Structure 1
Amino acid sequence: MKLRFDWKVKTGIAVLVLAAAAFGGWKYYQGQQQAKKAAAVETTDVIRMDMKSTVSATGTIRPVNSVEVSSKVTARIKSVLVKENDTVTAGQTVATLEGKDYEAKRDQAQIKVTNTKAKYDRVSYLYSIGANTQAELEDAQMNYETAVSSLSEAQSDMNEMTITAPMSGVVIGEPKTPGTMAVQGTSSPTVIMRIADLSTKQIQAKVDETDIGSVKVGQTATFTVDSYTGKTFTARVTNISQTDTSNSWDTSSSSSSSSTSASVIYYYVTLDVDDPDNELLPAMTARVEINTAEKPDALAVPISTLKTDANGSYVIVKNPDGTQENRYVETGIYSDEYVEIISGLSEGEQVVNTYTAKTSAAKTSSKKNQGGPPPM
């Protein structure tokens, strides 16, 4: 009997030892898993920094003042007196046209003026002595005045044989060569040459409709061009177009009717360029960053830490005891990597940089976001 009792006691003790060992192992495993989970959470401090919000756009450099030189009459180009990159002054002769046909017309008009003047003088004398009627005098006078008008027109056409520069500047591109027919017209005349004032330049940039509300006249900007690697130029916003680049709002326009509702809407923004060394050339592509807002010593967190739901924007705050809570915040301006926090956080607090599922220990702050919706 004693042996059977000792065996039961030993068995019970062994079971208790095994149970205690299993419980201890399970607790150890749980502790290791919690430690791994806590170590996997990446946090960042809420900091203060100088922030700048920008709008990116791409545009083309062009001179502020430029002109296309064309002829007011149709004639063949006789000579071109300037070449590409030449500097010209307003009124300078830059080309001449063949004028033989117009010269012949002018001579004919001059002969007609002489003849009609002589006839008018005779009729006027005869009318003065009662030999001609009032109607004959008026007809002679009308013929003479018509001839004078035709001579004036012919002389004006002859004057157009000399092409002068309408403004001071630089000849941009290669002018037309002698022998080319210069065609007059209002829709598509022959452009003999282009002259531009390169002392002042602009950028015509296209800004997306989602950003145009942040752009204001007077804002400063920086831009780069491929020709000068590593160099940054400055500019200033001087004009914002009140219509989009394709006038899509005008349903009566044929160009707008072809656009679809899925098209991206852009607006032209004009910026005056600072180029004291005259390094920039027309048609260069400028990659522009318009400074839309600046905030010194702003409270900020990385944009990657910001989340959104139906209630607004929030961050996951890691408390000193290791617990986490969802804290709703009011946001301000955005930079490329950071967002300003107007309220909801304090400097030095830690926010989780990676998404973790909500736990029973997580608490939700009652503050709602009052800023703009951030990206998910």
Structure 2
Amino acid sequence: MDSKDDVAKTLALGGSKHVFRKWLFLLGGLFFFVIVAAYTMGAFGRSSGPIYVTETAAIADFDVIVTGTGTVEPTNLVEISSELSGTLAEVHVDYNDRVSVGTVLASLDTTKLEAQLAVSKASLDAAIARVSMAEASLHEAREIYQTTLDLEERGVTPHLVFIEREARFLRSQAEVQSAIADRALAEANLDLQQAELAKACICSPVDGVVLNRAVDPGQIVASALSAPVLFTVAEDLSQMELRLDIDEADIGQIEVGQSALFTVDAYDDRTFPATIVQMRFAPETVDGIVTYKGILEIDNSDLLLRPGMTATADITVKEIRNALVVPNAALRYAPPVLIKEDAASKERSGLLGILIPDGPGAGLSRADSGTVWVLGSDGPREVAVETGASDGRVTEVLSGDIAADVALITEQIDE
């Protein structure tokens, strides 16, 4: 019984070893096939040449454009405040109302100011009366003095009487001067009160449109520390300006008089013309980015544009006509540069050499913006060129051994 069990175990063990050897043989064959296929494909890929993507040089026109963003603003925006403190009795205008010079926008309660004006008028009347009284006294004193002087010369009047009447005459002259000065002071006070009363009327200094109204009747205006803005009036919405932020890298190309086209989000399918009328020297720095403000004149006679709209403008800084141009991709292209294998790479063999056939540094390139690669019948050829202006897609060629319709390599695809 035991011998039969031993025989069965021996047969089972032999069968397992046979299956194991079979699987080991299959795996080894599969691994060899993969190695051979990889080597064959690599060798095939290395033997075939690269595929070149080309574009042709051409004679073309293009414009050099500088882009900036900014906002549409009225040419003259006036913020109207009140010089006086007080209670607003009336507000006469609202948003979008058209106003002209002198239009009353709002009025302060003038009860106190009118009372002060009445006091000033009364003071002036009293001062005028005192001048008349002083002049009458002067006239009397002058007549008495002249009579006394005649008597003094004849020796009839005592000398002390003459001195007293002469002093009275001089005092009368001084009283007249004092009364005249008091009258001038009263007139000045009256003018002051009239000016204060006039300031109670908050009026428009320009012809325009009310953009903002920040007050209501009954509101108290306190202008002791800073005058609050009560109304904002745009002088003329048919003539507006675009305040554009231009990057410092582009500022050297911008000049007054250049034309531009801009768009706003409200009208995506429409462009608006503008002209640069001012370039400000003061820099503006936001988050480390330096820009300069350009002012562009806008004709808004159709009133489509509104204050505060965000605009993106393209400024034409140069117009290139009938020039030989090449695609910028051709200036960026350079063939791969293979670094020579060192001693360590030459010693590679076996599986590592098969799976990584190229040396380190394969595929590196050195682009030169002053050269292009021409694809001829004898293969790629490097040509030096002198470049000019560019619009970001093509670049003007000023000199170089190329002509229109020449195929220029822009990309290389290695199989």
Is this a same-fold pair by TM over 0.5? yes
User: Do the aligned residues in 1 keep the contact of 2:332 with 2:368 (CA within 8 Å)?
Assistant: no
Structure 1: where are the runs of 5+ without partners?
1-25, 247-258, 358-376
| 1:54 equivalent among 62, 65, 77 | 65
Distance in 1, Cα, partners of 2:404 & 2:47: 28
Distance in 1, Cα, partners of 2:120 & 2:191: 9
Structure 2: where are the runs of 5+ without partners?
1-38, 142-167, 334-365
User: Do the aligned residues in 2 keep the contact of 1:84 with 1:175 (CA within 8 Å)?
Assistant: no
Residues 119-169 of structure 1: per-residue CA shift (max 9 Å, x gap): 222122212222434333322221221111001110111122222221111
More displaced 10-residue stretch of structure 1: 275-284 or 301-310 = 301-310
Kindly report which structure 2 residues correspond to 1:307-322, keeping only aligned pairs within 5 A, or say none.
Answer: 307=332, 313-322=370-379
Alignment correspondent of 1:12: none
Other structure's SS at 2:138 match: helix
- Name the CA shift for 1:188/1:43 in 2 (closer, same or farther; >3 Å): farther
1:280 correspondence with 2:293: no
Distance in 2, Cα, partners of 1:129 & 1:29: 134
Shift of 1:55: 0.5
Alignment correspondent of 1:333: 389
User: Do the aligned residues in 2 keep the contact of 1:307 with 1:313 (CA within 8 Å)?
Assistant: no
Shift of 1:103: 1.0
Distance in 2, Cα, partners of 1:83 & 1:110: 36
What letter matches 2:71 in structure 1? T
| 2:140 equivalent among 112, 124, 129 | 129
> Where is the helix percentage greater, Structure 1 or Structure 2?
2
Distance in 2, Cα, partners of 1:123 & 1:110: 20
Alignment correspondent of 2:160: none
Alignment correspondent of 1:365: none
- Name the CA shift for 1:311/1:228 in 2 (closer, same or farther; >3 Å): closer
Identical positions, percent? 28
- Name the CA shift for 1:174/1:158 in 2 (closer, same or farther; >3 Å): closer
Other structure's SS at 1:58 match: strand
Alignment correspondent of 1:35: 48
Other structure's SS at 1:107 match: helix
Distance in 1, Cα, partners of 2:120 & 2:389: 74
Shift of 1:29: 8.7
Shift of 1:217: 1.4
1:354 correspondence with 2:411: yes
User: Do the aligned residues in 1 keep the contact of 2:213 with 2:230 (CA within 8 Å)?
Assistant: no
Other structure's SS at 1:123 match: helix
Other structure's SS at 2:282 match: strand
- Name the CA shift for 1:76/1:336 in 2 (closer, same or farther; >3 Å): farther
Other structure's SS at 1:167 match: coil
Kindly report which structure 2 residues correspond to 1:1-376, keeping only aligned pairs within 5 A, or say none.
Answer: 33-37=46-50, 39=51, 41-130=52-141, 131=168, 132-184=171-223, 188-196=226-234, 197-245=236-284, 263-307=288-332, 313-325=370-382, 327-344=383-400, 345-354=402-411
Distance in 1, Cα, partners of 2:122 & 2:232: 39
Shift of 1:175: 4.1
The TM-score with structure 1 as length reference comes to 0.76
The TM-score with structure 2 as length reference comes to 0.69
Instruction: Tell me the matched-pair count.
Output: 314
User: Do the aligned residues in 2 keep the contact of 1:203 with 1:271 (CA within 8 Å)?
Assistant: yes
Distance in 1, Cα, partners of 2:80 & 2:232: 6
Measured on the aligned residues, the alpha-carbon RMSD in Å equals 2.8
User: Do the aligned residues in 1 keep the contact of 2:371 with 2:385 (CA within 8 Å)?
Assistant: yes
